[in-house]
Structures are given as C-alpha cells and as structure tokens.
Amino acid sequence: MRIIVSGGGTGGHIYPGLALIDSLLKHEPDSQILYVGSFRGLEGSIVPKTGIEFKQLAVQGFSRSLSLNNFKTISMFLKAVRASKKIIAEFKPDIVLGTGGYVSGAVLYAAQRLKIPTVINEQNSIAGMTNKFLSRGADKIAISFPHAAGQFPKSKVVMTGNPRGQQVVESSKAATFSLTELKLDPKKPTALIFGGSGGALRINQAVIGFAHRFSKNKDLQVIFVSGKKYYPSVKKEFDKLGRLDNVRLLPYLDNMDQVLPRISLLVCRSGATTLAEITSLGIPSILIPSPNVTANHQEKNARQLETVGACEVITEDQLSAAKLYHDMTEILSDESKLNQMGQAAKKLGHPDAADRLYALLVEVIDERKKSDKK
C-alpha cells in the first residue's frame, strides 16, 4: 500500500496515525508511507524519530472571534492545498488518512479534489471542525465513540476505535517494568496521577494539598507525574512535607506503556488517546477533563465512560485536594469497585482498533478500484 497519513498539532492527532502505520507494516511490510504534518505542531519532533518519510506544511487555526488573522489563515490554507496537490502528485498514494488537526484539512481536501480515496479517523466524541469540513468528501469516517456517529453522514461511519488502543495493548504484553523500580510495593493498590505530557497546574495543586495526608495511609501508594515544567516548583513543595514513603514524584514518564499495566487506578485528563489506552487495557480511572479544549470535548469524552461505570469524573470547578484524596482513596481501597470499573472500561475498549482501521483502508481502496472499472 502507498499511503499518506496526515495529522498534527497535538499527540492526540499524531499517535493514532503512527499506531495505524505500525499495523500496516505488520500486514504489508513493503508499504510506502509518507507523513505530512505542520511546522507548528508536535509532529515535527515526534515523526522524524520513527524513520517515516516526513514533509511539513505551513498552516494555522482559525480564531474563534472575528479577527483579521483569519484572512491569513485562509490564505495559508489555500497555499497548503496547492502544496499538498504537488506532494500527492509526486507520491501517488493509493489512499490518504487524516487523523485531525488543521494540516490534515489541507492534505485531505487536496486529495479529495484529485479523486484520491480518503478516510478520516475521528478520535473524540465531539468531532473536530476540520473533520466535519472533510466528511462530505471522505470515503469513510472511522470513529472511536458511538456519540460521534451522528455528526457525520451515516452511510460513511464505521466504528473502529482509536488505533493507539491496540498499540498500547501489544506493548503491555511485553512489559517488563515492576513497581520495585520506583521502590514501591507491587502488591499494594497503586494510583498513577498524570496531568498530560506538560502537566496540569490544578491537578498538581490538589496533589500537593493532600500528599502529606496520603503518606499516612501505608496500605496505598501513588506515582505522581507533575510534568517537566512544573517539577521544580512541585518538588520544592514536596520537600517541605518531609518523608513521603508511599508517594513517588516524577517529572515525566517515558515508559508509560510499561507502567500502565502495573497500576490499579489512573487519575488523568480525558483526551481521546488516553481514553483509548485505558479502555483497551481496562484501567479504572478518575477523569479530570481539561476545560481549555474546543467544544468541551474532554468532558464529553469522559461522560461516555462515566455512563457505563468505567470512571469517575471530577470537573475542574469541583476539584480540590480534599475531593481528590477522598475519591481516590475510596476507590483504591475497594477491590470490588476497582474490578467493576476495570471491566466496564474494557467493554468500551477496542484492542484491535489499528487492525480494524487497516482493514477499512483496504476495503476503501478495493471499492474505489471496482468503481473506477465501471
């Protein structure tokens, strides 16, 4: 298969694309792959490390308010479409996959104008503006949450799940990590508190507020990942608290795939990629949605899990040290509750999501070939 994958801005748009590529190469090792990203997004620092051929386009997002800058956005989009057409003409893909972000808008729109098959992978329960714009011209839309189905043309929607879910499951099977590496007891219920790759200030403040109290509960333990930029200030506060034998403070975890299978409860944001990981692995969670996202989609993602009993949701306006301490310790101390939440989470997971998406791409290519012969 010759495929162009495009998605950028955040890891939530990048990692699903890379997970699909992993699956594709297992099925078709000789595939030719080109990843098209933006100059602004994280993809510039992530994709090149994989060895995948990578090209970049200059794009930017629309301002939500009336702004002259939106004229620049439109101009950049049109230039990116022209550049995308040239890239597509040179690469000659069988299909183009978009995983979200403004750059995928230009690439998939160009492919649709050139009559190249396109598939959209929507990871959130609330569809992004770019994917809604592209949906009418797309061959298929692969979704991860049932709630997303009604936001696209019904005949094009296919439930595949988020490809990252399969990737983390396969990685977890080979996990060799032990909590003893962090000087924690593998037999004790363990929570992982993680505010995302950059950390989350409000979550950090809540943990600082209850850490000393938690340290007195010797039957439970926690791994707290503050984020690199917050780590110096959080460590300073922790140093004031004295010895915390059952709390491990870390700036970042670069082996998350290894750690997740070893924890009992995850306290985190509710981005689509994170939820794909925890549902595929069946991890109970307390979700604290970021309020600083388009259409409040993180809370809507989280509510999908809450409805079936897979998680507890604490919005930022409800978040406090006392609230998080109470809820976290209550769940951690109840083995039956943990099991119920884990089983509920797993029912929502798609541990074969990358293979499902690969099969959909093959189907779209075959259908287009049959149509072209008529």
Q: What is the pLDDT of residue 65?
A: 63
- pLDDT, tens digit, 9 for 90 and up, residues 13-24: 999 999 999 999
pLDDT at 63 over 90: no
Per-chain mean pLDDT for the chain: 93
DSSP string, 220-281: -EEEEE--TTTHHHHHHHHHHH---TTEEEES--S-HHHHGGG-SEEEE---HHHHHHHHHH
Whether residues 75 and 196 share a domain: the answer is no
Q: Which H/E stretch holds residue 367? A: helix 353-373
94/187 same-domain check? no
- pLDDT confidence bin for 26, thresholds 50/70/90: very high
Backbone angles phi, psi at 3, to 5 degrees: -135, 140
Q: Are residues 203 and 90 in the same domain?
A: no
Mean of the pLDDT values across residues 60-68?
A: 68
DSSP result, 118-146? EEEEE-SSS--HHHHHHHTT-SEEEESSG
Burial 271-298 (b: 16+ CB within 10 A, else e): bbbbbbbbbbbbbbbbbbbbeebeeebb
pLDDT (average), residues 308-314: 97
pLDDT band per the 50, 70, 90 thresholds, residue 73: confident
Q: Average pLDDT for residues 25-52, to the nearest whole number?
A: 94
Decide if pLDDT at 67 tops 80.
no
Judge if 311 and 358 occupy the same domain: no
239 and 343 fall within a common domain = yes
Task: From residue 230, give the alpha-carbon distance in Å to each of 100, 191, 237, 293, 367.
Answer: 28, 20, 11, 21, 51
Q: Are residues 36 and 9 in the same domain?
A: yes
User: Domain check: are 283 and 342 in the same one?
Assistant: yes
Q: What is the pLDDT of residue 174?
A: 82
Domain tally, the chain? 2
Mean pLDDT in residue range 245-273: 93
298 and 230 fall within a common domain? yes
Shared domain for 8 and 140, answered yes or no, is: yes
Longest dimension (CA), the chain: 75
* CATH label of the domain that carries residue 225: 3.40.50.2000
Task: Indicate whether 263 and 337 sit together in one domain.
Answer: yes
How large is the average pLDDT for residues 216-244? 94
Name the least confident of 43-52, 66-75, 123-132, 218-227: 66-75
pLDDT tens-digit map of 328-347: 999 999 999 999 999 999 99
**Whole-Å CA distances, 184 to 103, 178, 263, 343:** 43, 9, 11, 25
Q: CA angle at residue 180 from 179 to 186, to 5 degrees?
A: 55
Q: Give the Cα separation of 358 and 41 in Å (integer).
A: 25
Q: Which of 124, 122, 129, 160 is closest to 272 using CA atoms?
A: 124
Distance CA 167, CA 130 (A): 25
Same domain membership, residue 141 and residue 9: yes
Domain range enclosing 309? 170-348
What are 178-211's pLDDT values in tens digits? 999 999 999 999 999 999 878 899 999 999 999 9
pLDDT of residue 119: 98
User: Does the pLDDT at position 295 exceed 90?
Assistant: no
What is the distance between the alpha carbons of residues 113 and 148, in angstroms, rounded to a whole number?
25
In this predicted model, what pLDDT tens digit does every residue of 78-133 receive, in sequence order? 999 999 999 999 999 999 999 988 899 999 999 999 999 999 999 988 888 888 98
Burial status of residue 175 (CB atoms within 10 A of its CB: 0-12, 13-18, 19 or more): middle
pLDDT in tens, 144-176: 988 899 999 999 999 999 999 999 999 888 888
The reported pLDDT for the residue numbered 157 is: 97
Q: Are residues 184 and 119 in the same domain?
A: no
- pLDDT at 236 > cutoff 90: yes
Confidence (pLDDT) at 66: 64
* Rounded CA separation 278/12 (Å): 14
